[in-house]
Structure 1
Amino acid sequence: MDASDWSSPSVPQVVLAGLVVAIAGLVVFSAGTSGATFSTFNTEWDGASSLRSVADDAGLDVTVTGDTAAYSSATPPGTVAFVLSPDSAYRSGEAGRVAEFVRTGGTLVVAGDFGPHADDLLGSVGASARLDTGRLRDGYSNYRSPVMPVATGVANHSLVAGVESVTLNHATAVTPNGATTLVNTSDYAYLDTNGNATLDRSESVRSYPVATVESVGAGRVVVVSDPSVFINAMLDRPGNRQFARSLLADHRTLLLDYSHVESALPPAVLGVLLVRQSAVLQLGLGALVVGALAVWSRRPAVGAESVLAITSGRPVARVGRRIRQTLPERWRSAFARSDDEDRPRASPAELVAHLERRYPDWDRERVERVVSALERRDE
């Protein structure tokens, strides 16, 4: 392949280059995104990227974490932490960090539905509210379906200031156990405890709490009976965006806790967080960068071999050695780096004649390019 091949790439070369760029872009994009439900790095309908946008628009600093150690480094007063539908249990030490965050003035929002782990966390931090196990239905006040109740009973409380309703999606209810109710369903809701989508005699039609708040130490715990209130598709449903804004109001920092949500953090984010949390990794990465810079600073200067590689399409070192080894012995030293002005030199015409004999398949233009490269290497 000669220089003209590079200046005028063929269709297969263009296609190959396009595929390489596309694959590289896909790898980079995949490393920085997540398909997990509730993930702030998921921009699809079931992700929570819009929740982060609401916080950004409100001027909050957003911290995303996959480790409960972030609670220990947070400033509890002024920080609100969100835990959305944890799918694994918080160990004793992890729950202890969350509890300390709340006791020293932090606000914790736990949004769950039917799994046990949200209730376990609530118990560990000292909250009394719990989530029910039935599916909430409302045939009167809903968004297109009874399984999407629109809760309109909003209390006079700063955490729901400006909120007129909250739209739920396959939610359950909150059992307050003494906590203050923030949002109630209409009086026509019921809990479908047996999952048959029918109101049975054992099921009561009444208003059910779907959001509560209670004080724990110097902080407070908010319980929401449906984590999907905060996903991208639901934030634009009646009342939900304002509900999110109100929970974030009067705070300076939002802590998004994904320590117990599987695959919520993409590989690139996990890598950054891991390096931030490990002094050993930071030291190793720093040493790697210094070593790379040292190697780069000692790189050989670009010379004839690089030019030859461009003009011939062959690997740099192999082409340079091959060309020089074909020269007569008296000429070879003429192309070594030296300040010796008395060394024997070959004229361009001699080099052209030699290369034409050695490589009869090369055209004259290519031979002249190689000779020109060798001459520039000798300057």
Structure 2
Amino acid sequence: MRIGSREVGTPTLLVVGLCLALLLTVGFGTSTSASTYGAFNTAWDGGSGIRDVAADAETESTVVYNTTEYDDVSAPETVAFVVSPERGYTTAEATRIESFVKSGGTLVVADDFRPNSNDLLARLGARARVNGTPLRDDRHQYKTGSLPIATRTASDPLARDVDQLTLNHPTTIEPNGATVLARSSNFSYLDRDGDATLDENETLRSYPVVSVERLGSGEVVVVGDPSLFINSMLERSDNRAFVEALVGQHESLLVDVSHVDERPPLQVALHAIRASPLLQLVFGAGGLSIVVALGRRRSGAS
């Protein structure tokens, strides 16, 4: 086979093909994630669907690796998602997020059994808290009692077109004065001993699962189920409509992964390049040098 002025044999083509396949495989592996709730995880338990909803709504989305990036957006036009952080926020980090919310931003905090979200809410001055006890409903559910359906939703722009929410091993919200956006049915209960059975000391009643409260000029939405936002659960009624209501009324979306272990190397590198004019200059110059060198090589060969 002839390419330009050179004759290229089959073995060479095979080697080139294998190298390209390897590069594509490595590139995919270093640009995606297997982390539950991960922004770059496209599997059933990933959180990439939030950014897909934003794309459909023509809302610009940014994955945040450092809370300093909250300072770079117009708060009143932005919604930020913090989904089950694996590490606690420092006082300085929480102060940046508090400034974002009080300046008009919307913050969505979703968690169930980790302690770091409650710590962040306390640092922000928000009132709502995540309870941390499993919620079950053996009547109003999707396939099993551990996937209860919140049947009661408030009349609020954040619950627009939402008649119910399908949850996945959730907990409840202690609103402490915050407005309740969604509640479980009257047949739900807190499974305090984790035996998946309604016991004598466990009471059937409706529990808050989503709340919203004002904080300065902005709002804090607390959701007792981070799994509501995973890709597979977005297809359950009316979870996608809820995300659309949260995201669609904003110009930009921040997905805060600053306190989770998700760090796809290629995504981190691309993020660093986009954030640094110096790195853009270095890589641009490097790319130009390669093009010039290839051009000279072709000229010499001819």
- Quick check: TM above 0.5? yes
Q: CA deviation at 1:19?
A: 2.8
**Structure 1 gap segments, 5+ residues each:** 308-379
Relative distance call for 1:301 and 1:104 in structure 2 (3 A) is closer
User: What is the alpha-carbon distance in structure 1 between the residues aligned to residue 151 and residue 298 of structure 2?
Assistant: 73
How many residues align structurally? 298
State the match for 2:104 in structure 1: 105
Preserved contact between residue 38 and residue 231 of structure 1 (Cα < 8 Å): yes
Preserved contact between residue 40 and residue 46 of structure 2 (Cα < 8 Å): yes
- Answer with 1 or 2: which has the greater Rg: 1
Relative distance call for 1:63 and 1:300 in structure 2 (3 A) is closer
User: What is the alpha-carbon distance in structure 1 between the residues aligned to residue 216 and residue 55 of structure 2?
Assistant: 28
User: What is the alpha-carbon distance in structure 2 between the residues aligned to residue 241 and residue 294 of structure 1?
Assistant: 49
The reply to whether residue 91 of structure 1 matches residue 87 of structure 2 is no
Tell me, what secondary structure is at the counterpart of 1:245?
helix
Preserved contact between residue 134 and residue 194 of structure 1 (Cα < 8 Å): no
State the match for 2:272 in structure 1: 274
Preserved contact between residue 31 and residue 268 of structure 1 (Cα < 8 Å): yes
Q: Give, as a single letter, the amino acid of the residue that structure 2 aligns with 1:242.
A: A
State the match for 1:182 in structure 2: 181
Q: Which has the higher helix share?
A: 1
Q: Which has the higher strand share?
A: 2
User: What is the alpha-carbon distance in structure 2 between the residues aligned to residue 144 and residue 301 of structure 1?
Assistant: 65
Q: Deviations over 1:38-60 (max 9, x none)?
A: 12221110112222111111121
Q: Give, as a single letter, the amino acid of the residue that structure 1 aligns with 2:141.
A: N
Q: Give, as a single letter, the amino acid of the residue that structure 2 aligns with 1:45.
A: W
Of 37-46 and 139-148, deviating more is 37-46
The structure with higher relative contact order (CA 8 Å, sep 6+) is 2
User: What is the alpha-carbon distance in structure 1 between the residues aligned to residue 230 and residue 297 of structure 2?
Assistant: 54
> What is the root-mean-square deviation in Å for CA atoms of aligned residues?
2.3
Of 195-204 and 65-74, deviating more is 195-204
Question: Within 5 Å, which residues of 2 pair with 1:72-83?
Answer: 72-83=71-82
Question: Within 5 Å, which residues of 2 pair with 1:221-236?
Answer: 221-236=220-235
User: What is the alpha-carbon distance in structure 2 between the residues aligned to residue 27 and residue 217 of structure 1?
Assistant: 46
TM-score in terms of structure 1 length: 0.73
Preserved contact between residue 59 and residue 248 of structure 2 (Cα < 8 Å): no
User: What is the alpha-carbon distance in structure 1 between the residues aligned to residue 280 and residue 67 of structure 2?
Assistant: 20
Tell me, what secondary structure is at the counterpart of 1:259?
coil
Preserved contact between residue 105 and residue 220 of structure 1 (Cα < 8 Å): yes
Tell me, what secondary structure is at the counterpart of 2:236?
coil
Tell me, what secondary structure is at the counterpart of 1:119?
helix
Question: Within 5 Å, which residues of 2 pair with 1:260-271?
Answer: 260-263=259-262, 265-271=263-269
Question: Within 5 Å, which residues of 2 pair with 1:99-178?
Answer: 99-178=98-177
Of 250-259 and 101-110, deviating more is 250-259
Tell me, what secondary structure is at the counterpart of 1:96?
helix
User: What is the alpha-carbon distance in structure 1 between the residues aligned to residue 19 and residue 8 of structure 2?
Assistant: 19
Q: Give, as a single letter, the amino acid of the residue that structure 2 aligns with 1:84.
A: V
**Structure 2 gap segments, 5+ residues each:** none
